[in-house]
Amino acid sequence: MSKEDPKLQDLNRDRVGHEGKELTTDQGVRVEHTDDSLSAGERGPTLIEDFHFREKLTRFDHERIPERVVHARGSGAYGTFTCTEPMTELTRAHFLSEAGLETPVFVRFSTVGGSRGSADTVRDVRGFATKFYTRAGNYDLVGNNMPVFFIQDGIKFPDFVHAVKPEPPNEMPQASSAHDTFYDFVSLQPETMHMLMWLMSDRAIPRSYRTMEGFGVHTYRFVNAAGKGTLVKFHWRPKLGTHSLVWDETQKIAGADPDFNRRDLWEAIESGNGPEYDLAVQLVPEEREHDFDFDLLDPTKIIPEEEVPLRVIGRMVLNRNPDNFFAETEQVAFCVQNVVPGIDFTNDPLLQARLFSYLDTQLIRLGGPNFAQLPVNRPVAEVHHHQRDGYGQHRIDISPVSYHKNSIAGGCPHLASIEEGAFRHYTERVDGQVIRKRSESFKDFYSQATLFWNSMSDWEKQHIVDALRFELGKVEREYIRERMIEQLGHVDHGLASQVAEGLGLSAPPESGRNHGRSSPALSQATQPGSVATRKVAVLAADGVDAAKLGPVLESLREHGAVCEILAPHAGTLNGTGETKVDRAMQTMASVLYDGVLVAGGRDSVDALRRSGTAVRYVAEAYKHAKPVGALGEGVDLLREAPLNDARLSDNGLVDESGVVTLAATGNGGRELDQFAQAFAQAMSEHRHFDRNVQVVPA
């Protein structure tokens, strides 16, 4: 046997496999439990002496530089938050103290799993983080577009993210949960099932950041001047309603414009149509904390709006784009620990972990402890303390002392009183054994997943089934697919059976677990709609009937729609008057618009009919349940598509399942106005899933 080269031995020393080995810390200490952090009692706060928890989170936070480990791909904007209902009886928070009081904000939206170079429209959770620059200091409300999370205890966060990230051997797939390690983790952690239902729903593929809800996820605490606490959950509700894409569409957009959501936000703000959101809260008096059939400290649970209604307390408008993406959007540092007097934490074990993790992450990302001095992170409140030096120090402190207590500087900076706005932590009794154990009140893993399923409309349920078939169809190990079907059976037997059928697997035994309860507020089928800022692709060519098209476009734009004329070539079109082309058709795609309108004019329509691109625009928009309209001879292009069971009349006005037409015989001013009104209404409804079209994953 030949002797191995010593250099090769040194290299192989770093190649470590873990099969058959015990889990240890970095110091080689064997670990007996890694699913729960050490706490003072089962429902108590996390203890800093938990060295395994701290090491695990620290190592995870420092894994990658320079981009964020999670939420790497983001888009940001400045704006203003206005208090509309003072909350002084419940909280000392100054920015909620006076109706009409304005507070500047910076918001960062993001995907979670992908890298900075991934596409916007992947199936993923979206971050919704808001930095309030209040007079009492910065307050960071760091949330997501879903009100729950995958895990109950933050010690599992590295495991979850490692599972959902690209797999280690080949760094694939990018920004996707459709692979073995994710579903291996999920199928072994039943607490993930509620969040999985949200992830498989249309909530995971939002149409835009402007039509996306935001949630604080955790239960926080308002604290008033008397020290009394009230439990609170935060909700951001978009003025335009909550609307989504469809799966087939997201994949095409990822190729046509991977910056789709980022571009949409930027262009909306630049055009003066920046998004607006209501800030609403659910409030629970402390004496009612245990009145629910779930634990309010469990981040995998919601409070159904039917049990605790939402109360709107403010409005946020985003109205200014950053001047430099790196300096602002990339360097903005959100820390869950950044609270102001009047807002405090609870013992939610995931929240407790985030209090440590976010600061630790910023230290490695931004090079040291002075990241709060960067312009986008700098508070408007004055900053005075004894911290000194370190990487990235911008302040030039001229005080001769850097300690407390001191007499040389007259004791300054001196301690503030409560009356002067000092922060005081909420006083709470904590007792219990030092223990690593989950509270029994956290052990219901399926009832709210079932609640979510029961609350969906028929088309939303179909999309969830399609999503699970697609995702699990990408899982290579059959035993993981089978285990997932078993888990879905605990949510709803019908759901599990439909997914199993699509995978060629056996349905699980009927369990009879579905409790039959629902929460209508969870469905997107009842969302408010608006035509405002929705984008219409207007298809036209030389010979367009501009005289008929002009009044329709004018009416749609008065309603707030964004109409862009697309043609086979750039420049201007000849017809009944010159028509300026906004974009050449081949540079865009129907998936980048909310609806398609075909202009009239025989020569124009004949030219469009000869264009496969124009026919595809109409057919694809119809397939994706978007509004489709046609003026005069433009109806012929709709027939060319064709539009399945859509009823297209040779004369008169037709409005059926979002298909609106005005035949060539009806072109009076009143009829044109009726057409514009009908098409605007169809656009405001966003999608028309009552069509006889099934959108399945491509």
Q: Please give the positions annotated as active site.
A: 71, 144
* Burial profile 282-300: b = 16 or more Cβ within 10 angstroms, e = fewer: bbbeeeeeeebebbbbbbb
Residue owning tokens 């990822």: 254
Q: Give the pair of three-digit tokens for residue 216.
A: 């604080």
Q: Give the pair of three-digit tokens for residue 685.
A: 């409804």
Residue among 179, 197, 146 nearest 463 (CA): 197
Q: At what angle do helices 447-455 and 193-200 cross, to 10 degrees?
A: 20
Report CA-CA distances (Å) from 504 to 8, 481, 497, 500.
47, 10, 10, 6
Q: How far apart are CA 20 and CA 677, in angstroms?
A: 69
Question: Strand pairing of 343-344 and 214-215?
Answer: unpaired
Number of H helices, E strands in the chain: 17, 21
Residue among 548, 546, 541 nearest 566 (CA): 541
Residue among 98, 122, 101 nearest 110 (CA): 122
Beta-bridged to residue 564, according to DSSP, are 537
CA angle 235, 236, 239 (to 5 degrees): 135
CB-count exposure of residue 226 (10 Å: 0-12, 13-18, 19+): exposed
Backbone angles phi, psi at 182, to 5 degrees: -65, -50
**Residue 124: half-sphere exposure toward Cβ, Cα within 13 Å:** 28
Q: How far apart are CA 338 and CA 335, in angstroms?
A: 6
Is the CB of residue 221 less than 8 Å from the CB of residue 232? yes
DSSP string, 408-475: TTTTPSPPPPTTTT---PPP------EE----GGG---SHHHHHHHHHS-HHHHHHHHHHHHHHHHT-
DSSP structural state of residue 27: T
180: left (phi over 0), alpha (psi -120 to 50) or beta: alpha
DSSP E strand stretches across 588-669: 595-598, 628-631, 653-656, 659-662
